[in-house]
Structure 1
Amino acid sequence: MLLYLTSNENVGVFDFISKENGMVIKKLSGEFYLKKFVIHDMRNLNHYSYFAIDLKAIKDNENEIIEALMALKTMYDSRIIIFAEGFCKEDEIIIKLLEEKIYNIILATEVSGIKEEITKCISEVGKTKEDWMSQEEKYLYLEESSENKYLFNHKNIKIAVAGVSEKAGTTTTAFNMANFLSKIGSKVSYTEASGNEHLRQIAAYYKFDEVENYYKYKCVEYYLNKQFPEGYNFNVFDLGILNASTIAAFRSCDIRVLCSGSKPYEITNIGKIKELIEDIKLSLIFNCTADADKLYIRKKYERDINRIYFQNYSPDLFEWAANEKAYIGIVKEYII
Structure 2
Amino acid sequence: MILYLSSQQHTNLLDFLAEQEDALPVKKMTGNFMLKQFVVYDMRNFSHCTELVLDRIAFGDEDRDFAQAIEEFLTMYNTRITVICEGLKENNPLFGALLSAGVGNIVTNVEIRGMQEEIRQSLSSQGMTKYHPKERKQPKAQGEHYRFMADGVRIALVSSQSRIGTTTTALGFTSWLGSVGASVAYVERNDSGIISYLSDAYEMDEEAGGYRLEKMWYGTQPPDAGFHFLIEDYGTDRPEVDTDILLLVCGTKPYEIVHTMKLLEKYDTKPAFVLCPFVEASLQDTYVEAFQTDYHKVFFLEYQPDCMNGSPNAKIFKIIIKNYIAGE
TM-score under structure 2 length normalisation: 0.54
Q: For 1:234-313, what aligned pairs fall within 5 Å after superposition?
A: 234-242=229-237, 246-249=238-241, 252-303=242-293, 305-313=295-303
**2:249 partner SS:** strand
1: CA distance between counterparts of 2:296 and 2:325? 19
2: CA distance between counterparts of 1:280 and 1:156? 20
Which position in structure 2 is the counterpart of 1:210? 206
Residue number among 170, 178, 183 corresponding to 2:179 in the alignment: 183
1: CA distance between counterparts of 2:218 and 2:163? 21
CA offset digits 1:60-85 (Å, max 9, x no partner): xxxxxxxxxxxxxxxxxxxxxxxxxx
Q: CA deviation at 1:293?
A: 1.5
Which position in structure 1 is the counterpart of 2:163? 167
1: CA distance between counterparts of 2:224 and 2:231? 10
1: CA distance between counterparts of 2:150 and 2:294? 28
Contact kept in structure 2, 1:190 and 1:237, CA below 8 Å? yes
Fraction of identical pairs, as percent: 24
Contact kept in structure 2, 1:169 and 1:260, CA below 8 Å? no
CA offset digits 1:176-220 (Å, max 9, x no partner): 111111111111111101133221122223322222411012431
Residue number among 222, 227, 238 corresponding to 2:222 in the alignment: 227
Contact kept in structure 2, 1:156 and 1:232, CA below 8 Å? yes
Runs (4 or more) in structure 1 with deviation over 6 Å come to none
**1:273 partner SS:** helix
Contact kept in structure 2, 1:159 and 1:256, CA below 8 Å? yes
Contact kept in structure 1, 2:251 and 2:260, CA below 8 Å? no
Residue number among 144, 151, 156 corresponding to 1:155 in the alignment: 151
1: CA distance between counterparts of 2:208 and 2:289? 48
Which position in structure 1 is the counterpart of 2:315? 325
Q: Which runs of 5+ in 2 are unaligned?
A: 1-136
Q: 1:305 to 1:286 in 2, by over 3 A?
A: farther
Q: Which runs of 5+ in 1 are unaligned?
A: 1-139
2: CA distance between counterparts of 1:306 and 1:278? 8
Residue number among 197, 200, 203 corresponding to 1:201 in the alignment: 197
Q: CA deviation at 1:324?
A: 0.5
2: CA distance between counterparts of 1:253 and 1:230? 16
2: CA distance between counterparts of 1:293 and 1:305? 21
Q: CA deviation at 1:329?
A: 0.8
Q: CA deviation at 1:304?
A: 5.3
Q: CA deviation at 1:327?
A: 0.4
**2:170 partner SS:** helix
1: CA distance between counterparts of 2:228 and 2:293? 31
Q: CA deviation at 1:335?
A: 1.2
Which position in structure 1 is the counterpart of 2:91? none
Q: 1:204 to 1:145 in 2, by over 3 A?
A: closer
Q: CA deviation at 1:303?
A: 2.2
Contact kept in structure 2, 1:278 and 1:304, CA below 8 Å? no
1: CA distance between counterparts of 2:145 and 2:208? 31
Q: CA deviation at 1:315?
A: 2.4
Q: For 1:67-146, what aligned pairs fall within 5 Å after superposition?
A: 143=140, 145=142
Query: C-alpha root-mean-square deviation of aligned residues, in Å?
Result: 2.2
Contact kept in structure 2, 1:160 and 1:237, CA below 8 Å? yes
1: CA distance between counterparts of 2:141 and 2:212? 25
How many residues are paired up? Answer: 190
Rg comparison, structure with higher value? 2
Contact kept in structure 2, 1:161 and 1:239, CA below 8 Å? yes
1: CA distance between counterparts of 2:178 and 2:162? 27
**Amino acid across the alignment from 2:266:** L
